[in-house]
Structure 1
């Protein structure tokens, strides 16, 4: 992470763990000697409805507390969300978007164009392979977190530690494996 402050917006659906991912990301940042904050934005949404979580990571104390309107990075937990929500809105020039998609072909129909990099990881496939499923929904948040950590340049060891601290040893075991796979499999498109 080269910038003084990185602002991240995470788009997901209720139940996918966008807020949990933002909270674990804060822990990863702390473990790397950085300042961080995370907060959600949602109303009375139910499981499956679009939700947004935010995170800021900085090299010094973060005093701003407002919603992030111009993120450096956008994370999309569900590849269908760009059809419902303008996920690239406000994305800074030169920023990046990390999207959960099975292939480059899946991205073609999403019309994600702009002056930003696109990263792709098949977090759904990883979650299904590991049977990380709750109430029929693949739990993609920790896989996406692993991919995001790679993009940010964080060592995987801190990702593993943060997941175990947040979810516990038993609950975190498969999530660490998912994060590791995504950390290794994320690609720039």
Structure 2
């Protein structure tokens, strides 16, 4: 089972992305869970969301305690929130940042066994969607890092899910699709 914890701020789409990722995985026959955890419900407040993806039934009904992957939509949370709390040994950390992964690793004092990746999701979303929505590009980075499925299948499933919400706005769908694909190709920290 893949367990993901999302860190963001209210209005950045942590909950939306956690659910969208689960729906994409579900379309391939995976079992899923996706849910938010709210503190103060206000724009800009720290928000947590969780996603579980498994080949078999998921019997847990609680927060993700020890994530395999932590996704950070807002780099200003670094130092404010313990984003690596209980991250599994050998786990993955993807941060929306234009910094190189080594700089993030040094800033956080991460152990060598934490696989650290960065993607400038803000710039990608602004260029491709027209507004800063880091959640959608992060989906492409996640697929690249954990290899949920081949990228063409991932994009096809993402398109189908986005059509359900934005069928009347094809330009929004296309911008999101470009941002997912660009983030997949541009995520930093991969070997080869």
1:92-107 pair list within 5 angstroms:
92-104=88-100, 107=104
Q: CA deviation at 1:160?
A: 2.5
Answering whether residue 107 of structure 2 is matched by residue 110 of structure 1, we say yes
Alignment RMSD (CA, Å)? 1.8
Determine the structure 1 residue equivalent to 2:60.
64
Q: Number of residue pairs matched?
A: 181
Determine the structure 2 residue equivalent to 1:144.
138
Question: What secondary structure sits across from 1:188 in the alignment?
Answer: coil
Q: CA deviation at 1:47?
A: 1.1
Determine the structure 1 residue equivalent to 2:130.
132
Determine the structure 2 residue equivalent to 1:122.
120
Q: Distance in 2 between matches of 1:79 and 1:43?
A: 19
Q: Distance in 1 between matches of 2:42 and 2:103?
A: 26
Q: CA deviation at 1:112?
A: 4.5
Distance change >3 Å, CA 131–CA 25, structure 1 → 2: closer
Q: Distance in 1 between matches of 2:134 and 2:69?
A: 18
**Which runs of 5 or more structure 2 residues have no equivalent in the other structure?**
none
**CA deviation vs aligned residue, 1:21-57 (integer Å, no higher than 9, x gap):** 0011111211232111100001332111110100001
Distance change >3 Å, CA 106–CA 130, structure 1 → 2: farther
Distance change >3 Å, CA 168–CA 42, structure 1 → 2: same
**Which runs of 5 or more structure 1 residues have no equivalent in the other structure?**
none
Q: TM-score, normalised by structure 1?
A: 0.88
Q: Distance in 2 between matches of 1:98 and 1:178?
A: 16
Q: CA deviation at 1:61?
A: 0.6
Q: CA deviation at 1:108?
A: 6.0
Q: Distance in 2 between matches of 1:42 and 1:122?
A: 25
Q: CA deviation at 1:155?
A: 1.9
Distance change >3 Å, CA 168–CA 112, structure 1 → 2: farther
Q: TM-score, normalised by structure 2?
A: 0.87
Determine the structure 2 residue equivalent to 1:155.
150
